[in-house]
Structures are given as C-alpha cells and as structure tokens.
Amino acid sequence: MLLPVAVAVIAVIQVICVLALVDQYRGLLQIREGMGLIDTPQPIELAALAAAPSPSAVGLPAHLDAAERLVVAFLSTKCMTCRTIGRGLHGRVPRDLWVVIEGATEEECTRWLDDVGLARERVMIENMNDGVASRLDLSVFPSTLVFDQGSLTAAETLPSSRQLSRLLSAPVAPPLAATSVREKEPRHAH
C-alpha cells in the first residue's frame, strides 16, 4: 500500500515541478521582451523604397524580375548571425530566396560559403564597397529586401533563420508607397 501512495505523491510533485519549469521559461521570455532581446525584424528605411525598383534596377540578375515573390538576403562575412543564418539554409538556397554575400574580397566570400556549406546556386558574391548593398546605402547585416511582383516592397533586418522562414512563407504584398530617410552609419543587426 505504501508504494502506490508514494508513487502517486511523487507523480503529483513532478507535475508541480514541470509546471514550475513552464513558469520559469515564460518568465525568461518576458525578461527578453522587456530588454528588447527578441528576434523581431526592424524595418530599414531606404531611399530606394520610394521608387519600388525591380531587382535588375538595383543590380540583381534580370531573371529575378519575373519572380512572383523574391526575398534577397544580404549576409556579411564579418557577422556571426549571418553565419548562423547561412548554416541554417542547410546547404541549399530555397527557390524564392536570393543570397548576396558581402565581403572584402571574392576569396573571402568563397571561403565563407565553404565554411557554412552553402551551394553556389542562387548566391551572389560582391565586394562590400562596390555592390548592390553599397549602391542602395544598405549597411545593416543581416538584412533582407523583399520584391513582390517585381517591385521592392520591404527592407528589414534579419535577426534569425526563423524570421527568414517567415518571410519566405508570407503572402505576396502589393507594391509600397513612399519612404523617407536613409541609413547613415554602418551597423550590424546583431
């Protein structure tokens, strides 16, 4: 009789412990939210957004203009979060994604791609001082440009791989209205 009672008591105690663990993790999440340490993407204000240009107009390959929805991820060889996102692609860039690797030299970018194990399909390498990003005054990495129906509709930071997955599965948006001030200081999102 004692053993079943003991087992029942222990079972109830472990329910309390598991629920206390749930409470602790909820508390951690609230602390992160309070400190702003969550992975919500922040919009980036680019002058180019006003014109809603096509991918080819900003220097991307012309065949991307035909894409219903295109997400262009800008990753820097100097950024740890970029490396994490690169690895999170598991070797292949999805169909609706185009990756632009920013580095000091082509060799550095190639080495970076080998390190994260990413295939070259749908990947573009460019010099950080003379590429699509610098011409757009885009100096936040990692970041994304979203083109819907051939027009630029959004620019935002890219804090994590799951935010990239969210972007890739989001519905196609209509073309944007005007925007204002452009980025000044180079910075990394993380």
Partner 1 sequence: MVALVIQAAAALVLVYAGASKLAQPEDIRKTIGALGLPGSPIVLAAALGVAELGAAALLVVVPASPVTSAVVLALGGAFAVAGALAMTRRVQVHCACLGPALSGRLGVRQLLSLPLWIAVAGAGVVDHTVPLAGDRLELLVVLAILVTLGAGVQLTSLVREHRTLYQTMDGS
Site string for partner 1, 119-148 (x = CB under 8 A): ------------------------------
State the DSSP code for 150: T
Number of residues that bind partner 1 (CB under 8 A): 33
Bond prior to 43 in cis (omega within 30° of 0): no
User: Quick check: 7 binds partner 1 (CB under 8 A)?
Assistant: yes
Which residue of 55, 86, 103, 159 would you call a contact of partner 1, by CB under 8 A?
159
Cβ burial of 51 (10 Å; 0-12, 13-18, 19+) is middle
- Binding residue (CB under 8 A) for partner 1 from 34, 38, 90, 153: 38
Q: In Å, how far are 27, 28, 40 from 33, measured between CA atoms?
A: 10, 9, 10
Where on the chain is the footprint of partner 1 (CB under 8 A)? Answer: 4-5, 7-8, 11-12, 14-23, 25-26, 28-29, 32, 37-39, 79-81, 83-84, 159-160, 162, 190
